Amino acid sequence: MRTHAGRFTLMVETREGRFTAIYSERGLRGLAFPEGKGRRSEARVGPGVPREVRTWHKLTAKAVALVLAGRAVRAMPPLDMGEGTAFQQAVWAALTRIPRGRTATYREVAAAIGRPRSARAVGQACGANPVPLLVPCHRVVATGGGLGGFSGGLRWKQMLLAREGAGGPAS
């Protein structure tokens, strides 16, 4: 079978910077935080992009804006997270069940997927989450009031939690 027949990279402009969204033919496959200062100007949605992907991208852009504003996300694009292991899939699915404005500890997420001693592995799986923000790994914190880690940088995690009103450890 053909490997990844289609792959499209589109940008999401926000006041906080430019996010990068990657799509397969099945849906949103990755979302990357803004990198260093605005480098080259980026691919805009051009004629090579299927209508379906454009539709998904609109949903992505809207969802990103809402999460950054700490507001409820109404609609999500389909997610293509099929690359993960069974354990990772279980963790990512559990993340989507953490309500906005609330947090769960790594330990609680581990328990929720039936692996109560795998808190550390949960952290690793969170770090491997290809679609941060929309799959809210920022809502997972350490036992005992610590923030835990965040692949996109702890500043982001802190900001996201503050904006959605989660009584963050340090807030």
Partner DNA sequence: CCCTAGCGGTGCT
Partner DNA sequence: AGCACCGCTAGGG
HSE, CB side, 13 Å, CA atoms: give it for residue 43. Answer: 11
Residue with Cβ nearer DNA (55 or 143):
143
The question of whether 137 is a catalytic residue gets the answer yes
Binds DNA by CB under 7 A, chosen from 6, 34, 70, 149: 149
Binding-residue total with DNA (CB under 7 A): 35
Residue 19 has what DSSP assignment? Answer: E
- How many whole angstroms from its chain centre is CA 128? 10
Judging by beta carbons within 10 Å of its beta carbon (0-12, 13-18, 19+), is residue 48 exposed, middle or buried? exposed
Stretch that binds DNA, among 13-21, 23-31, 66-74, 145-153 (CB under 7 A): 145-153
Tell me: does residue 33 bind DNA (CB under 7 A): no
Q: With beta carbons less than 8 A apart as the criterion, state whether 147 and 154 touch.
A: yes
Name the helix (H) or strand (E) containing 59: helix 51-68
Q: Which is nearer to DNA, 37 or 117 (CB)?
A: 117
Judge residue 162's burial from the number of C-beta atoms within 10 Å of its C-beta, 0-12 exposed, 13-18 middle, 19 or more buried. middle
- Does residue number 166 form part of the binding site for DNA (CB under 7 A)? no
Say which of 66, 137, 140, 160 is annotated catalytic: 137
Under the binding rule (CB under 7 A), the answer on residue 130 touching DNA is no
Q: In the window 54-93, what residues touch DNA (CB under 7 A)?
A: 84-88
Q: Which residues are catalytic?
A: 137
Binding residues vs DNA (CB under 7 A): 84-88, 105-107, 115, 117-129, 132, 137-138, 140, 142-144, 146, 148-152
